[in-house]
Amino acid sequence: MTRSTWRRVRKVRVFVSLTFFVLFTILFIDVWHLIPRSIATALTSLQIVPALLKLILVGGIDALVGVVVVMGGALLFGRVYCSTICPLGGLQDIMARVAKKINRRKHFKYSKPPHWLQYAILTISAALFFLGGSMIVTDLLEPFSSFGRIINGLVTPLAVGLNNAVANALAAHGNYSLYNVPLQIQGPLWLAVGFLFLFMISFLSITEGRLFCNSFCPAGAILSLLSRLSVYKLAIDGDSCNDCGACDKVCKAQCIDSANRRIDFSACVGCFNCLRSCPKEAIGYVKSPLPFKGAAPVTFSVDRVRFDLGRRKFLKGIAVPATSFLVAPGIVKAAGSVFERHSPITPPGSLGIAHFTNICTACHLCVTSCPTSVLQPSQFEFGISGIFQPHMDYSVNYCKYDCIVCSEVCPTGAILPVDLAEKKLVQIGKSKFSKDDCVVVSKKKNCAACSEHCPTKAVHTVPYEKGLLLPEVDDGLCIGCGACEYACPVQPKKAIAVTGNRIHKMARKPRVTSAEQPAASAGSNFPF
């Protein structure tokens, strides 16, 4: 292909990358519900790590198709996923582009990628996953999940605030085409966490290009291994190359050694910048293992580990991410938690704590999609190994009786699909009533807020004394939705609270008469 043709190919690649970036951003904001569930499932199935997790432990045709498409693309043309489909890759490209606009003298140069670190992280992640020990490495480094936490922590509150401001302005003039969306800001803690991830990614992409992708990213490690077997690989034609060095100056992956006319294709992310920049059209795809006629052979062996990054680059590449990952949990720990539970609560469809924590990558897509925002990022509810993974926080709200959104959007299968009838019987926990803390006992006043808001009537009232009615809990009917706990007016310690089931159970089906409908099924967030 000619240089002008490669320019057009690169423009197509950039357009596809921006399209995926915008779609995933909208998906994580989820304010206007613009993306149908079927399209959302198709998009998330193209994320290699979540799709692999789902395929291994849950199955599903969507996960299979996604794995085949991404891995098949890598086996044919290398890591095109990294420069087109991955939203975190798109974010890095945007940051690098902004940096280039600010400093036009900014150039990259060849640097041997630290494959030893990348493959070590992949090995540790896989070992922890298959041994059922922890998902913490994957949770912290998986690119789709990292992007989700950035958008959910920083962009979503801004989008909701802007939407509400415009909606109010339009309403003042009689236009109701937009509506107000409840603004659930997760507080300074998660704003700080989102900012730390954004800072780390931005700093590395501006200073060292795709160092994150070739050093820390588990998805990049998987595709790096596959790209070593690619049918078609980029190579330099030794007869045409004039050693101008234009290609390695624009290579964000820093994988082109123009002095020796070599390309480390396992580190190449398929941005096509080199193809566009080469004045001699000396770079192109060749069918492996045959290089261009007369070109220096391209080798794809894993070289002996060499710590030749240099002190400054080592600090940028290793110390900055390490500091971010260590500081974030520290901020979380400092914030603490007001209430202690015997066991954290996971959403319906997650089967229990073990299944949920062993598959969840903490992408926070369920957190964003939850209409009541009862799903919140965890602190240490699941321990340090489950940090960032969502849990049910009944101090924020309760789980709607007629909602199954989180089971529809989960990309890994940590929350399995459930139909509405099944969801209404899944017992994720049980309500525990503290008689002495109830206002009926402590202040001799009738309340019944918990009973009135219970959708299954597991919480009901019985005669107490002097015409007072005292709440009572039927464990067989309770599903642990948290409506009673959220409605309880007692502060700071609730008189009734839900303790999670480590393994989910099934409750009895409630008997509802025509005169008695579940209060929570109306969808109101107000507990009275």
Contact yes or no for 347/423 (Cβ under 8 A): no
Q: Which of 115-119, 322-326, 347-351, 396-400 has the lowest mean pLDDT?
A: 322-326
Closest CA to 500 of 381, 389, 336, 337: 381
146 located within any domain: yes
Angle (CA) 214 332 160, round 5°? 80
Mean pLDDT of 501-516: 78
- Answer whether residue 211 is part of any domain: yes
Strands (E), 201-257: 232-236, 256-257
- Out of 116-130, 149-163, 177-191, 351-365, pick the least confident: 177-191
pLDDT band for position 513 (cuts 50, 70, 90): low
Give mean pLDDT, residues 364-380. Answer: 88
Do 362 and 260 belong to one domain? no
For the stretch 470-492, pLDDT in tens is 999 999 999 999 999 999 999 88
Integer Cα distance of 259 and 266 in angstroms: 19
Number of residues assigned to the chain: 528
pLDDT surpasses 90 at 81: yes
Are 137 and 145 spatial neighbours (Cβ–Cβ below 8 Å)?
no
Contact 386, 136 (CB under 8 A): yes
Residue 313 has pLDDT above 60, yes or no: no
469 beta partners:
463
Clarify whether residues 277 and 361 are in a common domain: no
**343, pLDDT greater than 60:** yes
pLDDT of residue 184: 67
> In degrees to the nearest 10, what's the CA dihedral of 55, 60, 62, 68?
40
More confident residue, 448 or 189: 448
Q: Is the model more confident about 28 or about 132?
A: 28
Q: State both tokens at 195.
A: 């900012």
Domain contains 337: no
Structure tokens at 116: 């030893």
Q: At what angle do helices 48-57 and 143-150 cross, to 10 degrees?
A: 120
- Integer angstrom CA distances of residue 441 from 444, 495, 497: 5, 10, 17
Q: Which element (helix H / strand E) includes 439?
A: helix 439-442
**Residue 357 sits in the same domain as residue 283:** no
Alpha-carbon dihedral angle through residues 304, 310, 311, 312, given to the nearest 10 degrees: -130
Question: Which residues, at least 6 apart from 525, have a Cβ–Cβ distance to it below 8 Å?
Answer: 182, 372, 397
pLDDT of 255-278, one tens digit each? 988 888 888 999 999 888 888 888
Q: Identify whether 298 is part of a domain.
A: no
Residues 261 and 183 both lie in one domain: yes
pLDDT at position 374, please?
Answer: 92
Q: How many CB atoms lie within 10 A of CB 57?
A: 15
Closest CA to 9 of 285, 251, 413: 285
Domain endpoint, select from 237, 260, 287 = 287
Q: How confident is the model at residue 324, as a pLDDT? A: 45
Counting residues of the chain whose pLDDT is more than 90, the rounded percentage is 40
Residues 90 and 220 in one domain: yes
Residue 132 in any domain: the answer is yes
- What is the pLDDT, as a whole number, of residue 301? 36
**Least trusted range by pLDDT, from 130-134, 214-218, 256-260, 477-481:** 130-134
Adjacent-strand bridge partners of 498: 431
| Distance set, CA 235 to CA 75, 255, 263, 283 (Å) | 16, 12, 6, 6
Domain-terminating residue out of 287, 309, 338: 287
**pLDDT in the model for residue 488:** 93
Q: Are 277 and 400 within one domain?
A: no
In terms of Cα–Cα distance, which of 513, 459, 508 is closest to 486?
A: 459
Same domain (yes/no): 166, 265: yes
Q: How confident is the model at residue 330 (pLDDT cuts 50, 70, 90)?
A: very low
Is the pLDDT at 336 greater than 60? The verdict is no
Is residue 497 located within the same domain as residue 397?
yes
Given this model, what pLDDT does residue 1 score?
Answer: 59
**% of residues, the chain, pLDDT over 70:** 84
Q: Which residue has the higher pLDDT, 195 or 308?
A: 195
Supply the pLDDT for residue 293. Answer: 41
pLDDT band at 314 (very low <50, low <70, confident <90, very high): very low
Angle between helices 87-102 and 188-208 (to 10 degrees): 60
Cis before 377 (ω within 30): no
Same domain, 265 and 383: no
pLDDT tens figures, 386-408: 888 999 999 889 999 999 999 99
Examine residue 293 and state whether it is found in any structural domain, yes or no.
Answer: no
Confidence band for 466, pLDDT divided at 50, 70 and 90: confident
Domain span holding position 376:
353-522
Shared domain for 362 and 235, answered yes or no, is: no
Average pLDDT over residues 423-446: 92
Assign residue 445 the CATH number of its domain: 3.30.70.20
Which residues are CB-contacts of 146 (< 8 A; sequence separation ≥ 6)?
88, 140, 197, 201
Q: What is the rounded average pLDDT of the residues 208-235?
A: 91
Question: 491-506, pLDDT tens digit by residue?
Answer: 888 999 999 999 999 9
For residue 83, being part of any structural domain is answered with: yes
Q: Helix, strand, coil % (nearest 5) of the chain? A: 45, 10, 45
Q: Are residues 372 and 495 in the same domain?
A: yes
Q: Is residue 164 domain-shared with residue 87, that is, in the same domain? A: yes
Mean pLDDT of the chain: 82
User: Using N-to-C axis directions, what is the helix angle for 37-44 and 3-29, rounded to 10°?
Assistant: 120
Report whether 484 contacts 496 (CB < 8 A). Answer: yes
Domain boundary among 261, 287, 313: 287
Collapsing DSSP to helix, strand or coil, 472 comes out as: strand
**Inside any domain, residue 432:** yes
Torsion (CA) 347, 353, 358, 363 in degrees, nearest 10: 30
Q: What is the pLDDT of residue 187?
A: 63
Domain count, the chain: 2
The pLDDT of residue 283: 87
Dihedral of alpha carbons 117, 361, 364, 397, sign: negative
Measured CA to CA in angstroms, residue 154 lies from 186, 201, 207 at distances of: 10, 14, 23
Q: Are strands 283-287 and 232-236 parallel, antiparallel or unpaired?
A: antiparallel
Among 241, 276, 271, residue whose Cα is nearest residue 257:
241
